[in-house]
Copies of this chain bind each other. A is one copy, B any other.
Amino acid sequence: MKYPSKLIENVVESFSGLPGIGKKSAMRIALHLAGNPEIKSKKFAESLLAMSEHLKTCNECFSYSDSELCNICSNPHRDNFTLCIVESIRDLMAIEETQQYRGKYHVLNGLISPVDGIGPDKLNIHSLVNRINTHKINELIMAIRPCIEGDTTIFYINRQLENTSVKVSLIARGISFGSELEFADEFTLGRSIAERVPYQQNSH
Protein backbone atom coordinates (compact mmCIF):
# COMPACT_ATOMS: atom_id res chain seq x y z
CA MET A 1 0.00 0.00 0.00
CA LYS A 2 2.21 2.77 -1.28
CA TYR A 3 -0.44 5.42 -1.85
CA PRO A 4 -2.63 7.05 0.75
CA SER A 5 -5.40 7.23 -1.88
CA LYS A 6 -6.55 4.75 -4.52
CA LEU A 7 -7.79 7.69 -6.64
CA ILE A 8 -4.24 9.04 -6.85
CA GLU A 9 -2.84 5.58 -7.49
CA ASN A 10 -5.11 5.19 -10.54
CA VAL A 11 -3.96 8.51 -11.95
CA VAL A 12 -0.29 7.60 -11.35
CA GLU A 13 -0.88 4.31 -13.18
CA SER A 14 -2.52 6.09 -16.12
CA PHE A 15 0.43 8.43 -16.51
CA SER A 16 3.20 5.89 -15.98
CA GLY A 17 1.93 3.86 -18.95
CA LEU A 18 2.67 6.74 -21.33
CA PRO A 19 5.79 6.93 -23.53
CA GLY A 20 8.67 8.73 -21.82
CA ILE A 21 7.02 8.99 -18.38
CA GLY A 22 8.45 6.95 -15.51
CA LYS A 23 6.87 6.26 -12.15
CA LYS A 24 8.52 9.22 -10.39
CA SER A 25 7.34 11.69 -13.04
CA ALA A 26 3.88 10.14 -12.98
CA MET A 27 3.70 10.66 -9.21
CA ARG A 28 4.86 14.26 -9.55
CA ILE A 29 2.22 14.95 -12.21
CA ALA A 30 -0.58 13.25 -10.26
CA LEU A 31 0.18 15.36 -7.18
CA HIS A 32 0.35 18.48 -9.32
CA LEU A 33 -3.12 17.74 -10.72
CA ALA A 34 -4.48 16.75 -7.29
CA GLY A 35 -3.50 20.24 -6.13
CA ASN A 36 -5.68 21.84 -8.85
CA PRO A 37 -8.49 19.33 -9.25
CA GLU A 38 -11.30 21.62 -10.29
CA ILE A 39 -9.55 23.49 -13.04
CA LYS A 40 -6.81 21.31 -14.45
CA SER A 41 -7.90 17.70 -13.97
CA LYS A 42 -11.40 18.32 -15.23
CA LYS A 43 -10.31 20.19 -18.36
CA PHE A 44 -7.70 17.51 -18.90
CA ALA A 45 -10.21 14.67 -18.59
CA GLU A 46 -12.63 16.44 -20.90
CA SER A 47 -10.00 16.92 -23.62
CA LEU A 48 -9.14 13.20 -23.44
CA LEU A 49 -12.76 12.07 -23.53
CA ALA A 50 -13.54 14.36 -26.47
CA MET A 51 -10.58 12.93 -28.36
CA SER A 52 -11.45 9.32 -27.56
CA GLU A 53 -15.03 9.81 -28.70
CA HIS A 54 -14.84 12.14 -31.68
CA LEU A 55 -11.46 11.72 -33.37
CA LYS A 56 -11.76 10.75 -37.06
CA THR A 57 -9.39 10.06 -39.93
CA CYS A 58 -9.28 12.61 -42.76
CA ASN A 59 -10.78 11.17 -45.96
CA GLU A 60 -8.18 12.90 -48.11
CA CYS A 61 -4.81 12.71 -46.37
CA PHE A 62 -5.41 10.04 -43.66
CA SER A 63 -4.23 12.30 -40.87
CA TYR A 64 -6.31 12.64 -37.69
CA SER A 65 -9.23 14.98 -38.11
CA ASP A 66 -12.24 16.47 -36.31
CA SER A 67 -14.52 15.95 -39.34
CA GLU A 68 -14.50 14.38 -42.83
CA LEU A 69 -11.66 16.68 -43.90
CA CYS A 70 -8.84 17.76 -41.58
CA ASN A 71 -7.92 21.38 -40.84
CA ILE A 72 -5.14 21.25 -43.40
CA CYS A 73 -7.07 19.64 -46.27
CA SER A 74 -9.99 22.02 -45.80
CA ASN A 75 -7.82 25.15 -45.59
CA PRO A 76 -8.36 27.22 -48.76
CA HIS A 77 -5.07 29.11 -48.25
CA ARG A 78 -2.90 26.05 -48.72
CA ASP A 79 -1.39 25.01 -52.04
CA ASN A 80 -3.69 22.41 -53.58
CA PHE A 81 -1.21 21.09 -56.11
CA THR A 82 1.69 20.02 -53.91
CA LEU A 83 1.58 16.91 -51.73
CA CYS A 84 4.07 16.04 -49.05
CA ILE A 85 4.24 12.26 -48.52
CA VAL A 86 4.94 11.20 -44.92
CA GLU A 87 5.23 7.88 -43.14
CA SER A 88 3.16 8.93 -40.09
CA ILE A 89 1.05 11.68 -38.57
CA ARG A 90 3.95 12.33 -36.20
CA ASP A 91 6.15 13.26 -39.18
CA LEU A 92 3.35 15.47 -40.54
CA MET A 93 3.23 17.38 -37.26
CA ALA A 94 7.02 17.75 -37.16
CA ILE A 95 6.94 19.34 -40.64
CA GLU A 96 4.02 21.61 -39.68
CA GLU A 97 6.06 22.74 -36.69
CA THR A 98 8.74 24.13 -39.05
CA GLN A 99 6.17 26.44 -40.73
CA GLN A 100 8.11 26.02 -43.99
CA TYR A 101 5.53 24.09 -45.96
CA ARG A 102 2.23 25.42 -47.28
CA GLY A 103 1.01 22.51 -49.40
CA LYS A 104 -1.02 19.48 -48.32
CA TYR A 105 -0.05 16.03 -47.05
CA HIS A 106 -0.63 12.36 -47.62
CA VAL A 107 0.02 9.98 -44.73
CA LEU A 108 1.16 6.51 -45.89
CA ASN A 109 0.74 4.99 -42.43
CA GLY A 110 3.98 2.98 -42.65
CA LEU A 111 6.67 2.01 -45.16
CA ILE A 112 6.93 -1.01 -47.45
CA SER A 113 8.78 -3.72 -45.54
CA PRO A 114 8.56 -7.27 -46.94
CA VAL A 115 10.45 -8.60 -43.89
CA ASP A 116 7.64 -7.38 -41.62
CA GLY A 117 4.95 -8.47 -44.07
CA ILE A 118 4.01 -4.89 -45.00
CA GLY A 119 3.26 -4.72 -48.71
CA PRO A 120 2.02 -1.67 -50.68
CA ASP A 121 -1.60 -2.82 -50.19
CA LYS A 122 -1.39 -2.19 -46.44
CA LEU A 123 -0.40 1.45 -46.99
CA ASN A 124 -2.33 4.44 -48.32
CA ILE A 125 -0.66 4.24 -51.75
CA HIS A 126 -3.63 3.34 -53.93
CA SER A 127 -5.53 6.34 -52.58
CA LEU A 128 -2.46 8.51 -53.23
CA VAL A 129 -2.38 7.60 -56.93
CA ASN A 130 -6.12 8.30 -57.18
CA ARG A 131 -5.68 11.62 -55.44
CA ILE A 132 -2.86 12.68 -57.76
CA ASN A 133 -5.00 11.94 -60.82
CA THR A 134 -8.21 13.51 -59.48
CA HIS A 135 -6.71 16.68 -58.03
CA LYS A 136 -4.13 17.33 -60.76
CA ILE A 137 -1.21 17.37 -58.33
CA ASN A 138 1.97 19.00 -59.74
CA GLU A 139 4.59 17.95 -57.22
CA LEU A 140 5.13 15.17 -54.72
CA ILE A 141 7.67 15.83 -51.95
CA MET A 142 8.85 12.56 -50.42
CA ALA A 143 9.49 13.44 -46.77
CA ILE A 144 10.46 9.88 -45.91
CA ARG A 145 13.28 9.04 -43.51
CA PRO A 146 16.42 7.67 -45.16
CA CYS A 147 16.39 3.88 -44.72
CA ILE A 148 15.97 0.78 -46.88
CA GLU A 149 12.19 0.63 -46.34
CA GLY A 150 11.91 4.34 -47.12
CA ASP A 151 13.90 3.99 -50.34
CA THR A 152 11.82 0.97 -51.37
CA THR A 153 8.60 2.88 -50.75
CA ILE A 154 9.79 5.92 -52.73
CA PHE A 155 10.88 3.62 -55.59
CA TYR A 156 7.51 1.87 -55.60
CA ILE A 157 5.44 5.06 -55.56
CA ASN A 158 7.58 6.58 -58.29
CA ARG A 159 6.93 3.50 -60.49
CA GLN A 160 3.17 3.90 -60.01
CA LEU A 161 3.42 7.43 -61.39
CA GLU A 162 5.37 6.69 -64.55
CA ASN A 163 2.42 7.58 -66.77
CA THR A 164 1.68 10.89 -65.03
CA SER A 165 3.41 14.26 -65.34
CA VAL A 166 3.79 14.75 -61.57
CA LYS A 167 7.25 15.89 -60.46
CA VAL A 168 8.71 13.82 -57.60
CA SER A 169 11.28 15.33 -55.24
CA LEU A 170 13.02 14.17 -52.04
CA ILE A 171 13.73 16.17 -48.90
CA ALA A 172 17.45 17.07 -48.73
CA ARG A 173 19.65 14.58 -46.93
CA GLY A 174 22.88 15.72 -45.33
CA ILE A 175 24.54 16.77 -42.12
CA SER A 176 22.11 18.12 -39.51
CA PHE A 177 22.56 21.57 -38.01
CA GLY A 178 24.77 21.34 -34.93
CA SER A 179 26.05 17.81 -35.51
CA GLU A 180 29.72 16.80 -35.78
CA LEU A 181 31.14 15.57 -39.08
CA GLU A 182 33.22 12.91 -37.34
CA PHE A 183 30.10 11.24 -35.92
CA ALA A 184 28.09 11.27 -39.16
CA ASP A 185 27.77 7.90 -40.90
CA GLU A 186 29.89 7.42 -44.04
CA PHE A 187 26.88 7.19 -46.31
CA THR A 188 25.42 10.53 -45.20
CA LEU A 189 28.80 12.29 -45.19
CA GLY A 190 29.71 10.93 -48.64
CA ARG A 191 26.36 11.95 -50.04
CA SER A 192 26.58 15.44 -48.51
CA ILE A 193 29.85 15.97 -50.41
CA ALA A 194 28.60 14.50 -53.66
CA GLU A 195 25.44 16.63 -53.47
CA ARG A 196 27.11 19.82 -52.28
CA VAL A 197 25.32 23.13 -52.95
CA PRO A 198 26.78 26.51 -54.02
CA TYR A 199 27.65 28.81 -51.12
CA GLN A 200 25.39 31.84 -50.76
CA GLN A 201 25.87 34.66 -48.33
CA ASN A 202 23.03 34.92 -45.77
CA SER A 203 22.02 31.35 -46.52
CA HIS A 204 22.41 30.36 -42.88
Q: Are B52 and A32 in contact (CB under 8 A)?
A: no
CB-nearest residue of chain B relative to A25? B20
Q: Are A54 and B90 in contact (CB under 8 A)?
A: no
Q: Are A71 and B41 in contact (CB under 8 A)?
A: no
Which of B6, B31, B37, B72 contacts A4 (CB under 8 A)?
B72
Q: Are A49 and B45 in contact (CB under 8 A)?
A: yes
User: Chain B residues near A32 (CB, 8 Å)?
Assistant: 18-19
Q: Let me know if A29 is at the binding interface, CB within 8 A.
A: yes
Q: Let me know if A17 is at the binding interface, CB within 8 A.
A: yes
Q: Let me know if A165 is at the binding interface, CB within 8 A.
A: no
**Minimum distance in angstroms from A186 CB to a CB of chain B:** 29
User: Chain B residues near A85 (CB, 8 Å)?
Assistant: none
If A10-B50, A48-B45 touch, whether A64 touches B4 (CB-CB below 8 Å) is yes
**Minimum distance in angstroms from A28 CB to a CB of chain B:** 6
CB-nearest residue of chain B relative to A98? B2
Q: Let me know if A97 is at the binding interface, CB within 8 A.
A: yes
Q: Let me know if A166 is at the binding interface, CB within 8 A.
A: no
Q: Helix, strand, loop or mixed for chain A's interface?
A: helix
Q: Are B27 and A70 in contact (CB under 8 A)?
A: no
Q: Let me know if A63 is at the binding interface, CB within 8 A.
A: yes
- Taken together as a complex, chains A and B put the C-alpha atoms of A37 and B46 apart, in Å, by 13
Q: Could you mark each residue 84-104 of chain A with 1 if its beta carbon is under 8 Å from any beta carbon of chain B, else 0?
A: 000001101100110100000
Which of B66, B72, B90 contacts A6 (CB under 8 A)?
B66
User: Chain B residues near A5 (CB, 8 Å)?
Assistant: 55, 63-66, 70-71
If A13-B47, A29-B20, A47-B10 touch, whether A4 touches B70 (CB-CB below 8 Å) is yes
